[in-house]
Amino acid sequence: MSDSQLIDAAVAGDQRAFAELIDRHRRPLHAHCYRMLGSLQDAEDALQESLLRAWRSLSSFQGRSSLRSWLYSIATNVCLRTIERRPSRVLPIDYGSAADPHEPMGEPLLESVWIEPYPDEQLGLEGLAGPDALYEQRESIELAFVAALQLLPARQRAVLILRDVLGFSGAEVAQALETTPASVYSALQRAHATLEERAPERTQQATLRALGDEQLQAIVASYVDAWARNDVEKLVGMLTENATLAMPPIPSWYRGREAIGTVLRDVVFVAARGWRMVPTAANGQLALGAYELDSSGVYAPHGVTVLTLSGALIDEMTHFRTPAMIERFGLPAHA
């Protein structure tokens, strides 16, 4: 059936026709909600609400815009309403200054203020950007880019994602946000200025391509081995001079080889704590599921670590200390 036939059937109440109609858009819509909200769970909630709204209002879809444009308009406005109800999410590095590794770590913040990682397998990115997109689709999901997006005012964030990431025209963005093209381009200019201040010199996609699969596999293997052997010196040797370590929901974060080495020795590996790392992929970057040896002798879920590289060295270790992340990434319950 063609899209128009599926729409007619769905309007007549055929839920299977509606499911088939939106199936090709589900994964990229989910990634769009994640870019807007910085949270895997919030993105899932926003997607479900968006699809429910689309189902309920399908009879009003007149075909004056593409189905894709209509669905993204609904999802964007659902995300904007979500943002109104809660603060933007951040990484610890945007929450406060670097901590002293000789002082106790801050207590975990229980409220939902932290950006979450996004499993690569859920991205559904191929071939979905429009002709005006400025960012490669994997670049637009990198942790640094998503973190920078969260610092933008909500409507600037929406404009930049719709225009530069998804490639919608200025007129389409204006229609989605019920504003004028002039307002869209004004917001886009301000958003660009903010992102230019935050953008890394090189995207992770460029770095990963330059290194190649063989060297990336060697980096991951060395990292896994160092954790298995509690080898602080090896881990520190894999870092850039000004590398950072963050562990949300703990607000404390650390900068520099010496500070990170101290935290690894005095906290992470203290009393011969045992660890195993299982490779995965998140935000278009290298990532690993982390498991800690518990009192019963089982390596239990601890969280997911996303690595940001600078050349062949690790520039950022962002460890999301949420055991439930292991299941969300489809990793084994025990290592």
Instruction: Give the per-residue pLDDT at 195.
Output: 92
Instruction: Give the per-residue pLDDT at 300.
Output: 96
Please, what is the Cα angle at 139 between 133 and 145, to 5 degrees? 100
Topology of 204-328 in CATH? Nuclear Transport Factor 2; Chain: A, (3.10.450)
Pairing of strands 275-282, 239-247: unpaired
Could you give the residue ranges of the DSSP H alpha helices within the chain? 3-11, 15-37, 40-56, 67-84, 92-95, 143-150, 154-160, 170-177, 181-198, 204-228, 232-237, 257-263, 324-328
pLDDT in tens, 206-215: 999 999 999 9
Across 13-22, 91-100, 192-201, 203-212, least confident range: 13-22
pLDDT at 9 over 70: yes
Residues 6+ apart with CB under 8 A from 3: 21, 67
pLDDT at 49 over 70: yes
Backbone angles phi, psi at 133, to 5 degrees: -65, 135
pLDDT at 4 over 60: yes
pLDDT in tens, 125-138: 544 566 556 667 78
Q: Which residues of 311-335 are buried (b: 16+ CB within 10 A; e: fewer)?
A: eeebbbbbbbbbeebbebbebeeeb
CATH 1.10.1740.10 placement within the chain: 1-86
Residue of 88 and 231 predicted with greater confidence: 231
pLDDT at 121 over 90: no
Average pLDDT over the chain reads 92
* 1-86 has CATH 3.30.110.40 classification: no
- pLDDT band for position 332 (cuts 50, 70, 90): very high
Residues of the chain with pLDDT > 90: what percent? Answer: 77
The 3 state secondary structure assigned to 290-322 is EEEECCCCCEEEEEEEEEEEECCEEEEEEEECC
What's the pTM?
Answer: 0.93
How much is the average pLDDT of 7-29?
Answer: 85
| One-letter amino acid of 113 | V
Instruction: Give the per-residue pLDDT at 130.
Output: 60
CATH 3.10.450.50 placement within the chain: 204-328
- pLDDT band for position 124 (cuts 50, 70, 90): low
Q: What pairs with residue 247 in β-bridges? A: 250
pLDDT in tens, 78-108: 999 999 998 889 999 999 999 999 999 999 9
pLDDT at 290 over 60: yes
